[in-house]
Chain A
Amino acid sequence: MKLTMFTNHRMASPPKRSVAWRVLLLIFLWNLPLGTCKAQTPSLLQSDGKIYNSGVLKIRGDAAIIQDTIGGVVRYERDRLADSQLVAHLTYRDLHFEGRSIKKVIDPSEPVIADNLFWSIDTNVVVDLSPATFIQANRTVVHDGYINPGLRYGRFVLGGTTNQDVSGRGTIPVLELNNLAGATITRSGGLLVFERLDLQRGLLSNSGADNLDISQNGWIWRDDSGSIAQEPKWTVRLNLRYYGDSLMLGGAEMVRAPTAIGNLVQDDTSGLMLPYSIFVNDSMILRGHIYTEQDSARRWELYYTNTYNPWYDGLWPEVIGTMVRTNLVDGQPMMMNNEHATIFFANATERGDVEQYAVRNMPRTIPPPLSDITFKVNRFLQLEPRSAVGDKIADSTYTMTFGYSWRALERLGREGQAFNETIIPLRGQESQLVLMRYDGISYNPYGFSALPTNTNTPSPAGIWRYSTAGLVRASGDFAIGLSTGPIWKLNALLYLEGAVRTYGENFTPIMSNDLAVAGLVPTVAPNIFPYSLDPDRLVDTALTISDSVVDWVTVEFRNSPTASGPPLLIETLLLLVDGRMVDPQTYQPRVISGIDQGYYYLEVRHRNHLSIITEDSILVARSEINRVVDFTGGVAILGGAASQKLIGTSSGRRWFGLIAGEVTASDEILRDDYNLVWNNRNAEGYLVHDTNLNGIVTTRDLNVTWNNRERLSVAPR
C-alpha cells in the first residue's frame, strides 16, 4: 500500500500552527502502522509545501521534501533490514539516522546538511552515500553507523563555522574538514576513516585518548589551511597528500614511524616544509618542492626507502635539502632530489659499504665558502654515502656516478619566482660546466664529468642543465662550475702618493677618498691611459662607487718585467682607501681568470702616477689564492724603492706609494707635466692634472709634480 500525503500550502502566508500539527499528526498516523504491519513498501513523505517542525519528525518511509531547511529533529528510523529509506536532501537542524534500513543519500542536486547534530545512532545504521553528493555536518557529529561500508567513496564534510565535536565509532570513507574553527574528536573518538581524511580548512583536534583511525593504506590530505593536532591512529601504512598554493609546514599527519608513510604526494605548488625527518616507503610524487630545512638549526632529512624512483611531475619540483635513498639498487640510476639528480653504482663491488646515499641539494645557494674564486652556479651540493645504520662511508671505498643538475633558464612558473642559477660569468658556457668538489682551499673539478651537459627538451627547453660525473669516490661539498674558470684571487695592497694626506713618521696607512665623496669617480674607468689599454674596461662597471674608493687602477699580468708589448691580462680595479684593490662589482679581491695558471709579473698603473712592476714573478694559481701582493713595502719592485715614493714610516717599516705627478702618460715626469698642471689650474672634476686626487687643480698639485721632477718608470708598456 502506497500512501501519499499531499500537502497544499502554497499560500503566501505561513500556515497556522494548528495546521502544521495536524500535518505532523497525519504523518505519524499514516506511518504508525508501518512499524507494526508487514508491508515492505515504504511510504513516501512528499512535501511540496513547507513543514514547520520544532519537535521530532519521525520518518519511516522515503522522504521528498522540497523546502531548503527544516527545524527540530528529523529522525529517519525505518528499521527493516531489507528496505532502504530515501533521505531528503535539505538542511536539517538535527538529523538522526536509526534503524536497519539503508539510508540512501543519493540526490546529486544538493547535500544533506545537519546544522546542529548529525547522529547515526548505532552500528545498525548504514548509509548509502552517492559519490555525486555528500553529507555535511555543521556542528555535532555522533556517528556510530557505517557510510558506504566497503567502498572508498562517500564524503562526509565537517563544514560548520564553529568548532565541531565529533564522536562515535562509525566509519566514513572520506571525512573532510572544511571549518576554519576546526573540529574536535571527543568521547574517546574511534571514528574510522576508511579512504581519506581531507584536512581542507581548520584544525582537527585529536589526542591519544580522543582520536580517529585511518584505515590501512588510508590517506590524509592536507590543504595549506588544514591541519591535525596529533598523529592519528593508523594501521600498517598511511598515505599523505598535500595540496594548495602556499608554503605549508608538515604537521602531525607526518607519522614519524619509519614504516608508516607509504605514498607521499606533494601537490602544493608553493612547497612543503618538513617539520622533522620522515620516511616515505612506497612512492613519492612531487608537483611542488619539498623543503627539508626550516633553518640552519632545523635541518631534517627525507628518507625514501623504495627502490622505485620518485616521480617529479613537472619541470620544477625537487627536494630542497637532504634526501636519503636507503635501498640502493646496483646497475641503475637512482633518482635523488630532482629528476636529473641521480646516483649510480655499477655493482656491489663499486658500491662497497654504501647502503644509503644522502644528497643535500641547495638550489639558489652560492656554494660556500664565499671566498672561493671559482665560477660556480648558484647551487650547493653535499654528498654523503652512508652505511646501513647511517654512518658516513670513508672516501675512496666506493665508486659511483653522480648526476648533477642545475636550473639554467629563468622562467616564471608555478613556483612564483623565476630564477637562473647560472651566474653571469658562466652564461653561454653552460655546456662546459662540471662537477666540482671543495678540497679545503678551493673548488676543483672532480671525477669525470660528461660534457657537453644536457638540457631538457620538453617546453620550456633548457630550464634544466644536467650531466653525470663518473668516478665519484668522495663525499663532501660539491658544486657545478667551470673547470677553466678562475685561477687566482688578486689580493693586493697599493698606495698612491697623491692620495696620501698624512705622511711622514708615525704614518697611518690610509688614503683620501676625496674623489669618491665628491661623486667624481666614474662607475666605469674612463677611456684614458691606462684604463684604455683594458679591452674589457666597459665590462668592469661598478654598480656603485662607495666612499671607500680612491680611484681606478689597472693590474697587468706579464711574462717579462722588461719586455714591452701587450700584457696577457689587464684587470681594471678600484683602489680603496686602505690600499686594497678590489673588483668593481663585488668590492672583493678580483678573481683572476682567462689566463693559465703560472708565473706572472704584475704591473700596476694609475692615470697620473708612475707605473711599477714586480721584480720577481708571482705564482698565479688556485693554491695561492690567499697570497697578498704588497706593493707598499718598496721591495720586490723592479728598480727597487727608487721606483716608488716613500710616503711614511711606522713601527719600523716604510711605506711606499706610486709616484704622483705624471700627467702625460709618458712614464716620466717632465717639464711638460708641470706646465700642464699649471695650465689647468683651478679646474675641478675628475682630472688627470689633479695629481693629489682631491678634485681640484691648485699649486698643491703643481708641487706634487714638481717634487717628483725627472722621476721615471722602468715598468714596460
Chain B
Amino acid sequence: MSTLLASFCLMAAFIILAPPGAKAQIVPDARAVVQPVLDPLYTRLTFDLYIRRLTDRWTYWANTTLRIQSSDLAPTGGYNPAVHTLTFISDSSDLPLVPYNPGAMNAYFVDYQFVGGDIVINIIGPDSVDDAIAVVNPDSIRIGRFEVASSDGSYVPENLVFAAPLSYYQANAFKIDHDSVTGSGTDRNVWFVKHDNPPLETEYQEKAPPPDICEAEFNFYGQYVGDLNVMLGFDVTDEHCYEGFIIERALVDRRDPNTLDFQGRPQLTYLNEPRLLSCLCLAPQVHDSLFDAVEFRREQYAYRLIGRRLPFYGDSLEIIDTIFIRIPNAIISNARILENPFRSQTTIRFNVDDRLRLTARAYDLGGRLIGTLETLDGKPVEDMEYVVGVDYRIVFNTPSIASQGLLNIVLVAFPINDYSIEEQSRVIIKAQLLK
C-alpha cells in the first residue's frame, strides 16, 4: 500500500513538477531517438525510431508525434512527395499494430507521411492502459523502421533532425495506470485519471548515420562441368559497394604460367548477365551457376573475379580473386576391372570426366567380338550416353561361346557436343576368362 502511495505521489509529482516551460530543471523522462541505418542505396534512406525510457516515473507508452527533417534537404523545401516515397517496414516495430479503428483502439497504429517537406510519424495508441506497451527502464522500444526513397535516382541524404521548435512539432505521451492525486480532503486535487495520456518530458536525440565501409568477403570458385563447360560462382558477405561483377578468363600458358592474358567474357559481365549485378544490399549473396565454355581440354584456365565499385564508393574496378580450373584431358578415367580373372561375369568401373557416348565391347585376342558389356540393369552399352560422374559400373557377362583366354575389353567414348569430333577416349582392359 505504501509503495502504491509512493508511486502515486511520484507520478503526481512528475505531473505537477514537469512544466514544459521549466526544462532546465527537469530530468527528461523519455528520449526519442532517430537512428539512420546503413542503407546501401544512395537513393534511399533507412532509419529507425526509438522511444527510450529514462525514469521510473512512467511505464506505459501512449502515443507520439515525431516530425523529422533532412538537414540537407530542409533548406530547399525538404522531401518532395513527387520524388520521394516514405515506407514503413512492416514487422519492424516493437508495438502491437492494428489498423486505425475510430470506434476503439486496442493497439497501436502508425501513420507516416510527408508534411511540408518533413517526415511526420504519428502513432495513436490503445484506449486502455491494459493494452499499452510497457517499457522497461532503461530500455527502448523501436517504433519502427522507415525508408525514404527517391524515384528519380537522386541521392537521399542520411542526416536527420527533429523539427524545431520541439515543443511545437513533437509530442510524446505515456499512459497512466492510476489516478494522479495530490492532497487529501478539501485539498485533494485530481490531475489525471487512469487511462489518461499525460505528456512526457522528452528529449530528442539524432544519431549520426553509421560509417559506410566496404569490407566484403568473397569466396570465388569454379569447376569443370563437362561438355567443355566451366561452372563458376562466388559468395559475398556484403556487396553494397559494388554495382556488379565481371569474370575474365585467361588460358594458362604452360611455358609461361605466370603471365595471364585475361580476356573478358561477354556472358560473364554484369552488363550482360543480371546475375552478376550487385543486390546493392547488405545481406550475404550467392552468385553461382555461371557457365563458361572452354576451347581446349588438357589445359588450365584462369578465372578472375572483378568488382565494379559504385560511383559513391570509388567508381573503380577491383580485382577480387583469381582461380584456376584444369580441363581434363580424358573423358574416361580410372577404368578398372573388378574381377580378373573371372568366369561368368566381370565388372568394369570407370569415371566419366565429360559427357559422352560410350560403347563397351569385349574382343578376343584375335579381334573377334565376344560380346557387349551391359549396364547393371542389363542394357547393352552400345553408344550409350553418360554424364559426368564417377564409379560407373558396367558388366561383362561371359557368353557361352567364349573360350578361356585373354580378352580385350574395349571402352570407346565420344564426347557429346565436342568441338572436335576426333576427340575420343579409348580404354582397353585385359581380362582373363576362366572356364
A: which residues have CB within 8 A of B?
501-505, 514, 646, 649, 654, 671, 675, 678, 681-682, 684, 694-696, 698-700, 702-703, 706-707
Question: A675 vs B101: C-alpha distance in the bound complex, in angstroms?
Answer: 9
Cβ of A671 and Cβ of B103 under 8 Å apart?
yes
Closest A residue to B15 by CB, please name it: A504
For B102, the closest partner residue in chain A by CB is: A675
Task: Verify A706–B197 contact, CB threshold 8 A.
Answer: yes
Q: How far is the CA of A5 from the CA of B255 in the complex (A)?
A: 155
Chain B interface residue bracket vs A: 35 or more
The contact of B189 among A654, A681, A707, by CB within 8 Å, is A654
Q: How far is the CA of A503 from the CA of B65 in the complex (A)?
A: 21
Partner of A501, one of B20, B65, B169: B20
The reply to whether A682 and B113 contact each other, CB–CB distance below 8 Å, is: yes
User: Among the listed stretches B116-124, B220-228, B309-317, B367-375, which one makes contact with chain A, having 4 or more residues with CB under 8 Å of it?
Assistant: B116-124
Q: Which residue of A lies closest to B170 (CB)?
A: A698
**Alpha-carbon distance between A681 and B112 when the two chains are bound, in angstroms:** 11
Q: Is the CB of B171 within 8 A of A502?
A: no
A sample of 20 cross-chain residue pairs with beta-carbon separation below 8 angstroms, ordered by A number, consists of A503-B19, A504-B16, A505-B17, A671-B102, A681-B120, A681-B122, A682-B120, A684-B116, A696-B169, A699-B122, A699-B124, A700-B171, A700-B173, A703-B63, A703-B171, A703-B196, A703-B197, A703-B198, A706-B197, A707-B192
The interface residues of chain B lying within 8 Å CB-to-CB of A504 are 15-19, 191
Q: Which of A671, A681, A684, A694 contacts B111 (CB 8 A)?
A: A681
Of the candidates B19, B124, B189, B197, the one whose C-beta lies within 8 Å of that of A646 is B189
User: Contact between A698 and B17 (Cβ–Cβ < 8 Å)?
Assistant: no
Q: Could you tell me the distance in whole angstroms from the C-beta of A295 to the nearest C-beta in chain B?
A: 46
| Residues of chain A contacted by B124 (CB below 8 angstroms) | 678, 699, 702
Bound-state CA distance A703–B102 (Å) is 15
> Is the beta-carbon distance between B122 and A682 smaller than 8 angstroms?
yes
Provided the pairs A681-B65, A682-B120 are in contact, do residues A699 and B18 lie with their beta carbons within 8 angstroms?
A: no
| Residue interface bits B96-127, CB-to-A below 8 A is 1, else 0 | 00001011000000010101100010111000
CB B19 to nearest CB in A, in angstroms, measures: 4
- Whole-angstrom distance between the Cβ of A383 and the nearest chain B Cβ: 55
- Contacting residues, chain A, for B100 (C-beta < 8 A): 678
Q: Is the CB of A699 within 8 A of B65?
A: yes
Which positions in B face A, CB cutoff 8 Å? 15-22, 62-65, 100, 102-103, 111, 113, 115-116, 120, 122-124, 167-173, 182, 189-192, 196-199
**A708: nearest chain-B partner, CB-CB:** B196
Rounded to whole angstroms, the CA-CA distance of A678 and B103 in the bound complex is: 13
Q: Return B107 CB to nearest CB of chain A, in Å.
A: 15
- Which residues in B have their C-beta under 8 angstroms from that of A505? 16-17, 182
Interface centre among A502, A649, A707 (most CB of B within 10 A): A707
Give the chain B neighbours of A699 by CB distance below 8 A.
Answer: 63-65, 122-124, 171-173
A707 touches B197 (CB 8 A): yes
Contact of B196 among A694, A696, A702, A706 (CB under 8 A): A706
Instruction: A675 to B102: give the CA distance in the assembly, Å.
Output: 6
Which residues does chain B contribute within 8 Å of A501, judged by CB atoms? 19-21
Distance A313 CA – B182 CA, assembled complex (angstroms):
78
- Bound-state CA distance A696–B191 (Å) is 24
5 closest Cβ contacts across the A-B interface? A504-B16, A502-B19, A700-B171, A698-B65, A703-B197
Residues of A within 8 A of B15 (CB): 504
Q: Chain A nearest CB: distance from B269 CB in Å?
A: 48
- When distances are taken between beta carbons in the complex, the residues of chain A under 8 Å from B62 are 703
Chain A's closest residue to B18 (CB) is: A504
Interface centre among A654, A678, A684, A698 (most CB of B within 10 A): A698
Q: How far is the CA of A554 from the CA of B416 in the complex (A)?
A: 99
Q: How far is the CB of B8 from chain A (nearest CB, A)?
A: 15
Asked if A694 and B189 make an inter-chain contact with CB atoms under 8 angstroms apart, the answer reads no
- Option from B168, B171, B196 in Cβ contact (under 8 Å) with A695: B168
Q: Are A502 and B120 in contact (CB under 8 A)?
A: no
Closest to B111 in A: A681
B21 touches A700 (CB 8 A): no
| Distance between Cα atoms of A682 and B17 in the complex (Å) | 28
Q: Smallest Cβ distance from A501 to chain B, in angstroms?
A: 6
How far is A694 from B65 in the complex, measured between Cα atoms in Å? Answer: 15
Residue of A nearest to B22 (CB): A502
A706 to B62 CA separation, bound complex (whole angstroms): 11
Min CB–CB distance A672 → chain B (angstroms): 9
Cα of A37 to Cα of B197 in the assembled complex, Å: 131
Find chain B residues with CB under 8 A from A649 CB. Answer: 189
- Which residues from B are CB-within-8-Å of A646? 189-191
Q: Which residues of B lie under 8 Å from residue A681 when comparing CB positions?
A: 65, 111, 120, 122
Contact B63 A694, beta carbon cutoff 8 Å: no
A646 to B199, CA, bound (A): 16
A675-B124 Cα distance, complex, nearest whole Å: 11
Chain A residues with CB under 8 Å of B171's CB are: 698-700, 703
A509–B182 Cα gap in the complex (Å)? 19
Query: Which of B16, B20, B103, B122 is the one whose CB lies under 8 Å from A698?
Result: B122
Task: Please indicate the chain A residues that have their CB under 8 angstroms from the CB of B20 in the complex.
Answer: 501-502
- B168/A703 in contact, CB under 8 A: no
In the complex, what distance in Å separates the CA atom of A291 from the CA atom of B16? 63
B64 nearest CB neighbor, chain A only = A699
For B19, B167, B199, which residue has the most chain A Cβ atoms within 10 angstroms?
B19
A583 to B64, CA, bound (A): 38
Contacts of A694 in B (CB 8 A): 167-168
List chain B residues, Cβ under 8 A from A502. Answer: 19-22
Taking CB atoms, residues of chain B closer than 8 Å to A695 are 168
Query: Could you say which residues of chain A place their CB within 8 Å of the CB of B182?
Result: 505
By a CB distance below 8 angstroms, the chain B residues around A707 are 192, 196-198
Q: Which of B20, B100, B167, B171 has the largest count of A CB atoms less than 10 A from its CB? A: B171
Our pick among B21, B103, B170, B173 for the contact of A703 (Cβ within 8 Å) is B173
| Cα–Cα distance between A649 and B124 once the two chains are bound (Å) | 31
Residues of A within 8 A of B190 (CB): 646
Q: A712 → chain B, closest Cβ, in Å?
A: 16
**Residues from chain A with Cβ under 8 Å of B196 in the complex:** 703, 706-707
Bound CA–CA A695/B167 (angstroms):
11
Q: Indicate the member of B62, B103, B197 with the most A CB atoms within 10 Å.
A: B197
Report the separation of the CA atoms of residues A698 and B199 in the bound assembly, to the nearest whole angstrom: 12
Besides A504-B191, A654-B189, A682-B113, 8 other CB < 8 A contacts?
A: A501-B21, A649-B189, A678-B100, A681-B120, A698-B65, A699-B64, A707-B196, A707-B197
